[in-house]
Chain A
Amino acid sequence: MKAGIVIFPGINRERDMAIALEASFGTAPRVIWHKDTNVAGLDLVVIPGGFSFGDYLRCGAMAAHSPIMRAVKAHAERGGYVLGVCNGFQILTETGLLPGALLRNASLRFLSMDCHLRVERADTVFTNQYQPGQTFRAVMAHGDGNYFADKDTLDRLEGERLIAFRYTTKAGEVTPEVNLNGSARSIAGIFSPNLRVLGLMPHPEDLVDPLMGGTDGKPLFDALAAA
């Protein structure tokens, strides 16, 4: 699988993501500038975290209208793989590739800490190196990670098994105490209906090396590399 990373002005976790991708893929991802207009030759397009265009409008709203996103949308419609993390997830919801929106954290404060994510399904290209129901640690670093969608959308996501990860305790329990940003139904990440677009708020790319505190995020990248 050939991967590329989209850089918008203000994106700041592109290096973290490139390190994680290279560690699993064995080759460095291609870098795609936001003014570019195509992603030809790539199997996986990754939109990393940061503050695209400063997030001065709604998070991700400006980036969603940049030239490259038309190409990313077409890539997704052709059945290509897309991964959006943090600001990348926000951009995917603003683009309409994933439903819902990310609101200001319920605490109204930026949250920077580890959280535990429960793997809601392990039969996807992103998650097949995890066990279903297992939890893993990921780094949370966002001010606007409070996932919101209307009841019908949430019911549909659950009914069609499109929820990728939930915030849980280490033991895998859903509790309000560990749903720190206040997300609807503790949702941390969701899939598109074809399971080829994944958006999530926490950063698996920041835990791929024991030196940085663990390798809990590595199976996600290993799975993509093996696909």
Chain B
Amino acid sequence: MRTAVTEDLARSFGLSGEEYNRVLAIMGRTPTLTELGIFSVMWSEHCSYKSSRVWLKQLPTKAPWVIHGPGENAGVVDIGDGLAAIFKMESHNHPSFIEPYQGAATGVGGILRDVFTMGARPIATLNALRFGRPENPRTKRVVDGVVRGIGGYGNCVGVPTVGGEVNFHASYDGNPLVNAMTVGIARKDRIFLSAAAGIGNPVVYVGSKTGRDGIHGATMASTEFSADSEDKRPTVQVGDPFTEKLLIEACLELMATDAIVGIQDMGAAGLTSSAVEMAGKGGVGIELDLDQVPARETGMTAYEFMLSESQERMLMVLRPDREQMARDIFHKWDLDFAIVGRITDTGRITVRHRGTVEADIPLAPLNDQAPLYTRPTVDTPKQEKLNPARIEDRYGLARALEKLVGCPDLCSRAWVWDQYDSTVGGQTVKRPGAADAAVVKLEGLTRALALTTDCTPRYCMADPEMGGAQAVAEAWRNLTAVGARPLAITDNMNFGNPEKPEIMGQFAAAIRGMVAACETLDFPVVSGNVSLYNETEGRGILPTPAIGGLGVLDDVALAVGLALPPWLDIMLIGNTVGWLGQSLWLREIGGREDGAPPPVDLAVERANGDFVRTHILNRTIRACHDVSDGGILVALAEMAMASGVGARLMTHPPGIPGHAFWFGEDQGRYLVAVADYATFARAAESAGVPAMRLGTSGGQNLTLPDGGSISIAALRNAHGRFFPSWMDNSTQKETP
């Protein structure tokens, strides 16, 4: 029995009436069910970027070191030694809410495939995670599942998870964010692209078999959630990291030969999007015979085959004379290998199943006539600048510090990263928590990559343009703080419903801020992903343009961490006015979430960072930490807790209230430890960079300028308490 294709069915697939009319015009007839499925996923927000494309085009994407910018599976930059770093960040938000373990696991699997599809061996993964309030009973289950899922997949596949971030906020209660970033390394003359070519060449399917899982996942990711979203659990895919590991090894083995013409992983919208993209980019046609597709279950229809999002699958176009060699490699790794079609000169995608043509669509209009919307925008109202002198401090420095380092957004993330294998591969130089960015060495070379993910969503909510700039600047700052030369970013734009003008206004403003920061910092966007409709019951998330930054260290031995060494001078780089608006001190101590966020002066950012990097690389700076959430005193406490070495602080400059100086979140600042403050201060002065001596390291306590003091042990205790007690992980079996 055939399902009748109607406008109502098209609507239930997520197409608007107008979009359905466009399908009818392209086809010149009523589409088949399979054809409607193909149009609906290709034109979904997730695959077509129909609401965001007009804005994304504004991002700077070029630099002399950029080899491939947005448009390929991942971005590619030249890192020297004839090598390229290939990287991207991608969201798996909606699936992770519905089924946290598998949602997060398959998010990791998907981003890994985007990277090794291009010929790179993945060397590191990071995760930017945002969860609802800890008080919400549901949050605990989501955190537990997501962390287990990331570990379950990443640990097994053998790619170290080296960094990322975790935030909490009520706006993520019904819509957590799981953004995974993977970085891989390839020879820069051996990059694999997806464009198909060569009429008659075989189209080869490799990897896992196809099942009914994940059908219409891309469409699900393009709608808001309602209370019954849990019913969508069957649209979440199930991951198999073991097969992924085999797929990585088999693909890299094949990629060392000349067999592959084009290759594309099957991600969102599975076989449909991989086939359409490969043929579309190559300007050719493609013919698929679904009877040849390895199936996990019997009785699957053409519609199900084309829309399945079963994991760990790839589509390749091979040189015909290399077919047998390729088959042998995949069989060696016990993976399915099937010729499922041919490249044609028709410019159409033709899908056959059991002797019937189930779909026959011209590719050019399917791609070119995909909807593109310039949706209306409304600017976010500016917030008032708060005057720190008018904000009273009843807490004192020591008590506030202890509370801040223990709050969910600043407490130790060890509980999370202790569940991720961060060392597999043997190249992890700076593990999670050791430095502002993870540092991963390139095997056999002195070169290393520095990696970070950053975003401060509460700044973005208050001022999306400033928040967008700040996210890019903080990524640049974190790479700089280990001594790396920042090269490029990947962006993961997480926003609410784009059909609401205020949400689209946030998006447009965030892009404006990012454009400015990318330009001033020479820090182009080379890949990215957009996740919209992050709303549940009409409530949107904080705008969250998560930035994944990549930098290079020519000599890994020069990388510095944040652990504070003893008996050094502690210097502050950058200017301080005591900005309390949107600060964590204001939220956690003052109980307010208002005010304009701290401004980012991009020229100053660049000057301060270039100065810091120079003095890391000439070995003047022995430890470095950027000043971000929680301000100077939290940054210093983090340095002290990392090494167990305390510090004695001097009185802050007059004219700024103490709490504003020590906890304000002014941007473009670093704490550095140097042997001789006077020489360093002179160097800063001649570079035109503000530098101020804050104190001296040593001892077991942080001795504060207001007469208070707190021991490193007490800080560590406060810092380490939240996650283990919240997640109830303190039970250990007794030794028999």
- Interface of A with B (CB < 8 Å)? 9-10, 12-13, 15-16, 19-20, 49-51, 53-56, 106-107, 109-113, 139, 141, 143, 146, 151, 154, 174, 176-177, 179-180, 182-186, 203, 205-206, 209, 211-213
In the complex, chain A residues whose CB is within 8 Å of the CB of B601:
none
In the complex, chain A residues whose CB is within 8 Å of the CB of B520:
none
Contact indicator A107/B732 (Cβ below 8 Å) = yes
Contact indicator A112/B158 (Cβ below 8 Å) = no
Is B545 in contact with chain A by the CB < 8 A criterion? no
In the complex, chain A residues whose CB is within 8 Å of the CB of B556:
211
In the complex, chain A residues whose CB is within 8 Å of the CB of B734:
176
Instruction: Check A19/B418 contact, CB under 8 A, given A9-B242, A9-B333, A51-B241.
Output: no
| Distance between Cα atoms of A57 and B603 in the complex (Å) | 57
Contact indicator A185/B426 (Cβ below 8 Å) = no
Please pick, from A107, A143, A183, the residue contacting B735 in the complex, using a CB distance under 8 A. Answer: A183
Question: In the complex, which residue of chain B has the Cβ closest to the Cβ of A182?
Answer: B733
Question: In the complex, which residue of chain A has the Cβ closest to the Cβ of B414?
Answer: A113
Q: Could you pull out 25 A-B pairs where Cβ atoms are within 8 angstroms?
A: A12-B245, A12-B424, A13-B158, A15-B425, A19-B443, A20-B426, A51-B155, A51-B242, A54-B241, A55-B242, A56-B242, A107-B731, A109-B418, A111-B419, A112-B155, A112-B419, A113-B418, A176-B732, A179-B732, A184-B736, A206-B423, A211-B557, A212-B426, A212-B427, A213-B431
In the complex, chain B residues whose CB is within 8 Å of the CB of A183:
735
Shortest distance in angstroms between A177's beta carbon and chain B's nearest beta carbon? 8
Please pick, from B156, B426, B431, B443, the residue contacting A51 in the complex, using a CB distance under 8 A. Answer: B156
- Interface of B with A (CB < 8 Å)? 148, 151-152, 155-158, 240-243, 245-246, 333-334, 417-429, 431, 441, 443, 556-557, 729, 731-736
Contact indicator B426/A206 (Cβ below 8 Å) = yes
Please pick, from B156, B425, B429, the residue contacting A211 in the complex, using a CB distance under 8 A. Answer: B429
Contact indicator B735/A184 (Cβ below 8 Å) = yes
Majority-rule SS of A interface residues? mixed
Contact indicator A109/B426 (Cβ below 8 Å) = no
Question: In the complex, which residue of chain B has the Cβ closest to the Cβ of A154?
Answer: B736
Instruction: Check A15/B736 contact, CB under 8 A, given A107-B729, A112-B420, A112-B422.
Output: no
Contact indicator B246/A112 (Cβ below 8 Å) = no
| Distance between Cα atoms of A51 and B425 in the complex (Å) | 14
| 10 further A-B pairs in the complex, CB-CB below 8 A; given A15-B425, A106-B732, A176-B732 | A15-B426, A15-B443, A51-B245, A54-B240, A55-B156, A110-B151, A111-B419, A112-B419, A113-B418, A141-B424
In the complex, chain A residues whose CB is within 8 Å of the CB of B441:
211-212
In the complex, chain B residues whose CB is within 8 Å of the CB of A111:
418-419
In the complex, chain A residues whose CB is within 8 Å of the CB of B240:
54
In the complex, chain B residues whose CB is within 8 Å of the CB of A141:
155, 421, 423-424
In the complex, chain A residues whose CB is within 8 Å of the CB of B243:
54
Shortest distance in angstroms between B539's beta carbon and chain A's nearest beta carbon? 32
Contact indicator A54/B443 (Cβ below 8 Å) = no
| Distance between Cα atoms of A154 and B735 in the complex (Å) | 12
| Distance between Cα atoms of A143 and B417 in the complex (Å) | 14
| Distance between Cα atoms of A154 and B243 in the complex (Å) | 37
Question: In the complex, which residue of chain A has the Cβ closest to the Cβ of B161?
Answer: A112
Contact indicator B158/A50 (Cβ below 8 Å) = yes
Contact indicator A13/B427 (Cβ below 8 Å) = no
| Distance between Cα atoms of A205 and B636 in the complex (Å) | 33
Contact indicator B428/A212 (Cβ below 8 Å) = yes
| Distance between Cα atoms of A174 and B734 in the complex (Å) | 12
9 nearest A-B residue pairs (beta carbon) = A12-B158, A54-B242, A16-B426, A106-B733, A182-B733, A51-B156, A141-B421, A110-B419, A206-B423
Please pick, from B156, B420, B428, B732, the residue contacting A54 in the complex, using a CB distance under 8 A. Answer: B156
In the complex, chain B residues whose CB is within 8 Å of the CB of A10:
156, 242, 245-246
Question: In the complex, which residue of chain A has the Cβ closest to the Cβ of B417?
Answer: A112
Question: In the complex, which residue of chain B has the Cβ closest to the Cβ of A50?
Answer: B158
Shortest distance in angstroms between B359's beta carbon and chain A's nearest beta carbon? 35
Of the candidates B157, B240, B242, the one having the most CB atoms from chain A within 10 angstroms of its own CB is B242
In the complex, chain B residues whose CB is within 8 Å of the CB of A15:
425-426, 443
In the complex, chain A residues whose CB is within 8 Å of the CB of B731:
106-107
Question: In the complex, which residue of chain B has the Cβ closest to the Cβ of A183?
Answer: B735
In the complex, chain B residues whose CB is within 8 Å of the CB of A109:
148, 418-419, 729
In the complex, chain A residues whose CB is within 8 Å of the CB of B429:
211-213
In the complex, chain A residues whose CB is within 8 Å of the CB of B733:
106, 146, 182
In the complex, chain A residues whose CB is within 8 Å of the CB of B428:
212
Contact indicator A110/B421 (Cβ below 8 Å) = yes
Shortest distance in angstroms between B450's beta carbon and chain A's nearest beta carbon? 14
| Distance between Cα atoms of A124 and B151 in the complex (Å) | 36
Contact indicator B419/A182 (Cβ below 8 Å) = no
| Distance between Cα atoms of A76 and B156 in the complex (Å) | 28
| Distance between Cα atoms of A208 and B418 in the complex (Å) | 21
In the complex, chain A residues whose CB is within 8 Å of the CB of B443:
15, 19
In the complex, chain B residues whose CB is within 8 Å of the CB of A177:
732
Contact indicator B732/A13 (Cβ below 8 Å) = no
Contact indicator A179/B735 (Cβ below 8 Å) = yes
Please pick, from B155, B420, B423, B557, the residue contacting A139 in the complex, using a CB distance under 8 A. Answer: B423
Shortest distance in angstroms between A124's beta carbon and chain B's nearest beta carbon? 24
| Distance between Cα atoms of A12 and B158 in the complex (Å) | 5
Question: In the complex, which residue of chain A has the Cβ closest to the Cβ of B121?
Answer: A15
Shortest distance in angstroms between A203's beta carbon and chain B's nearest beta carbon? 7
In the complex, chain B residues whose CB is within 8 Å of the CB of A16:
423-426
In the complex, chain A residues whose CB is within 8 Å of the CB of B424:
12-13, 16, 49, 141
Question: In the complex, which residue of chain A has the Cβ closest to the Cβ of B430?
Answer: A213
| Distance between Cα atoms of A36 and B28 in the complex (Å) | 59
Instruction: Check A180/B732 contact, CB under 8 A, given A112-B417, A141-B155, A211-B556.
Output: yes
Shortest distance in angstroms between A88's beta carbon and chain B's nearest beta carbon? 14
Contact indicator B242/A53 (Cβ below 8 Å) = yes
In the complex, chain A residues whose CB is within 8 Å of the CB of B426:
13, 15-16, 19-20, 205-206, 209, 212
| Distance between Cα atoms of A211 and B243 in the complex (Å) | 32
In the complex, chain B residues whose CB is within 8 Å of the CB of A50:
158
In the complex, chain A residues whose CB is within 8 Å of the CB of B158:
12-13, 50-51
| Distance between Cα atoms of A176 and B731 in the complex (Å) | 11
Of the candidates A51, A55, A180, the one having the most CB atoms from chain B within 10 angstroms of its own CB is A51
Please pick, from B333, B421, B736, the residue contacting A112 in the complex, using a CB distance under 8 A. Answer: B421
